[in-house]
Structure 1
Amino acid sequence: MTTFPMRYLLYLGYCLLVLAAAFFLAEGVVRLLGNRPYTNLALRFASVEPGGRLYQRHPTLGFAHFPGRYTLTLPTGFKFQVTHGDDGLRITRPQGSPAAADFKQIWIFGCSFTYGLCLNDPDTYPWLLQERFPDFEVVNFGVGGYGTIQSLIQLREALAAGRKPPAVLIIAYANLHDLRNCGFRSWRKGLIPHLELGETFFPHAGLDQEGNLQYAYVKWDYAPLPLMDRFAFLHRLETAYNRWEDRSRHGRLVSQAIFREINRICRDHNIVPVVADLTWDRKTGEMLEYCRSLGMFAVDISLDFTHPDNNFLPHDGHPNARANREYARRLGDFLEERVLPQVVGARGEIK
């Protein structure tokens, strides 16, 4: 007669067998649906010449550009050239043609869309805005991979370093900046393997108990779940968690706190703030409305990136030269009609 302990072991073995069968059934289903195990994409987005690298570690921003002129080649063979000034910022006019020192400035902050990834210098929308408004000096603070927290830090550091406050400050926003500001897992998964920076500390933004902005510098890395590189089902579970985290309300509240701080700095320095939406969706629209409630200008200049006329596919999905011309037209029209009338001439004072 089977003893109770033996029956217990049989039941346990049966349950484990059922769980294993369910796991491998789920594994087969997710693979049929196109999911694959995790692959460490520690591959360069592009080869960089000269030097092999575009980024260097930065003590407060996490990473920043090397100064200089570089040619980048994508795995498909597509090439483009970028030029960074001595401050590491992408140029907005031909080198050797500086603006007059007393010209008022327009500072533009953002990510790879503002930087102009995959574009030659003259095709970026900050360059095109510089051509449209020659009596202003347009400064492109955009860096691929940045969130709004880095824009805030860049603004603080530029003013602390003694740079004259701009007449107009533009924050180019997309809702993916919410997850970057908080260091969510999906962003670390996609970005960190490509930077090749070694041990790096990034600004990680959050809220205190009163809902005020705070941020700290933490060592950033990405650790895949065990066996995620072998089983598509485990990778799918991790992806589902990442999406849940991305959709959480916390990231949006942190971004709102960042915009409040940017708006405060603009008031203190008599700067006209503008928030421009580059990638329209409901959450981004809600953020624009929030910024308007703070008294900031806000404008939707977004485009449909599923349309082949607006991206670099099959090479890359970033906005192409045509899209940047449209960005420059829409943003330039808004500045001309709504914002720059508050500035009396390129050498005048803000009303």
Structure 2
Amino acid sequence: MRKAVFSMLLVFLLIGVTELLLRIAGFKPYRSPVIHINFQPSFNHLPDSLLGYALADGNFTVSSWVNTDTLVYHATHRNRQRITDTAQLKPTAENAKIILLGCSYTYGQGLDDTATCAFILQQKLWQENRRLQVENLGVGGYGPTQFYLLSGNIDSTTAKLVVINYAAFQNERTTLCRSWRKMIVPNQNNTANFATIGAPYFTAEDSTVALHYRLMTYPFLPMQKHLALVELLDNLYCQYEKRQSAKVSRRVLAQTLQQLKQKGVDVLLCGIASDEETKATVKLFKQQGYSTLWYGADIQNPRYNLMPKDLIRIMPPIKYLPTVFTAT
């Protein structure tokens, strides 16, 4: 009995000393970021049985407050897409599509309709009398999983080019890593209950991947909100999961590219971040004969972000993309 009590006391002592050292080193328990987002007249997304969630049609004003800073932008969704012009044309044989797949960079998070890359690209094409219709299928939080699912529904008779905007930070979305669910679920408000959404994700199965669906939940570990040690352990596990997700993402991207190639649709894989992992993935597919473009920018550079909002990962704007897209 005494040995058991002594062992328990020793464990508690070790935990206490470790916690003290972690606090001195600057580590803290889990803390939710101070962020509030308001959608008017309603939340601008809706559940989707295939993609997990998609854009809701309508005109929306989105206001976000990060600490003492404020951002307001206006977004118009038509046919579950961000508009690329005030009057959408129906595609014809002479009016083929350039389809953009991506996340919030492509969607234009934080930007009004007319400031998004897709909108500017559409205007420049029409100014040059090029009968190409730009479709912006980018949605905040999308990644390789959604790119694969969307590519399956692309009509090869009207799609002239599909542009996939990829970054390594999307990998955790491919497998629904705990880190991704940690960022989304605890910080949602009552207008965006992602915990009720059946989200798609992939797992590695031998040499291939398998598609699954699960609820977007994030269960806290015991004492995670009180002990820096528990939060550190959770973060270490999240880092391990994210490293594993990179392999799965590459397989999913490979299947997406193959799927479009089999349809006879031209595809351009773009790297939109400056990190080495994004570069390596783009280089890998270039070596396999696919058309690629890397134009990653450092989002810590004030020219390319909306600091301080981007510090807590409200997705950064894409104001540096129009010139590159026009050049291609």
Structure 2: distance between partners of 1:100 and 1:148 = 26
Question: Could you list the per-position Cα deviations for residues 281-300 of structure 1 after superposition, in whole angstroms to 9, with x for gaps in the alignment?
Answer: 22111111221133211111
Letter matched to residue 119 of structure 1:
L
The corresponding residue for 1:232 is 228
Q: Which has the higher strand share?
A: 2
Larger CA Rg, structure 1 vs 2 = 1
Among 122, 135, 140, the alignment partner of 1:139 is: 135
The corresponding residue for 1:154 is 150
TM-score, L = length of structure 2:
0.89
Deviation for aligned residue 1:122: 1.4
**Matches of residues 332-351 of structure 1 in structure 2 within 5 Å?**
332-333=326-327, 335=328
Question: Could you list the per-position Cα deviations for residues 24-67 of structure 1 after superposition, in whole angstroms to 9, with x for gaps in the alignment?
Answer: 122122223333222456x875100002x122111011111111
Letter matched to residue 144 of structure 2:
T
2:195/2:216 contact within 8 Å kept: no
**Matches of residues 170-209 of structure 1 in structure 2 within 5 Å?**
170-193=163-186, 194=188, 195-209=192-206
The corresponding residue for 1:4 is none
Gaps of 5+ in 1: 1-8, 336-351
The corresponding residue for 2:211 is 215
TM-score, L = length of structure 1:
0.83
Structure 2: distance between partners of 1:315 and 1:176 = 17
Aligned length: 313
The corresponding residue for 1:6 is none
Among 6, 18, 43, the alignment partner of 1:14 is: 6
**Matches of residues 245-324 of structure 1 in structure 2 within 5 Å?**
245-248=241-244, 251-317=245-311, 318-320=315-317, 324=318
Structure 2: distance between partners of 1:123 and 1:181 = 28
Secondary structure of the structure 2 residue equivalent to 1:288: helix
Structure 2: distance between partners of 1:138 and 1:156 = 18
Q: 1:64 to 1:97 in 2, by over 3 A?
A: closer
Which segment drifts farther, 271-280 or 291-300?
291-300
2:195/2:215 contact within 8 Å kept: no
Structure 2: distance between partners of 1:181 and 1:45 = 26
Structure 2: distance between partners of 1:99 and 1:173 = 28
Q: 1:303 to 1:40 in 2, by over 3 A?
A: closer
Deviation for aligned residue 1:301: 1.0
Gaps of 5+ in 2: none
Deviation for aligned residue 1:303: 0.9
1:56/1:197 contact within 8 Å kept: no
Structure 1: distance between partners of 2:29 and 2:204 = 35
1:61/1:150 contact within 8 Å kept: yes
Q: 1:44 to 1:99 in 2, by over 3 A?
A: farther
Structure 1: distance between partners of 2:271 and 2:298 = 12
Deviation for aligned residue 1:13: 2.6
Structure 2: distance between partners of 1:133 and 1:295 = 27
Deviation for aligned residue 1:266: 1.9
Deviation for aligned residue 1:22: 1.8
Deviation for aligned residue 1:312: 0.6
The corresponding residue for 2:77 is 84
Q: 1:153 to 1:97 in 2, by over 3 A?
A: closer
Among 119, 122, 125, the alignment partner of 2:111 is: 119
Structure 2: distance between partners of 1:197 and 1:326 = 30
**Are 2:16 and 1:24 equivalent residues in the alignment?**
yes
Structure 2: distance between partners of 1:180 and 1:236 = 21
2:22/2:229 contact within 8 Å kept: yes
Letter matched to residue 179 of structure 1:
E
1:260/1:294 contact within 8 Å kept: no
Secondary structure of the structure 1 residue equivalent to 2:293: strand
Structure 2: distance between partners of 1:267 and 1:315 = 38
1:145/1:191 contact within 8 Å kept: no
Which segment drifts farther, 197-206 or 138-147?
197-206
Q: 1:302 to 1:295 in 2, by over 3 A?
A: same
Q: 1:158 to 1:132 in 2, by over 3 A?
A: same
1:126/1:138 contact within 8 Å kept: yes
Letter matched to residue 203 of structure 2:
G
Deviation for aligned residue 1:172: 0.3
Structure 2: distance between partners of 1:31 and 1:201 = 37
Which segment drifts farther, 62-71 or 267-276?
267-276
Structure 1: distance between partners of 2:251 and 2:83 = 30
Structure 2: distance between partners of 1:284 and 1:316 = 19
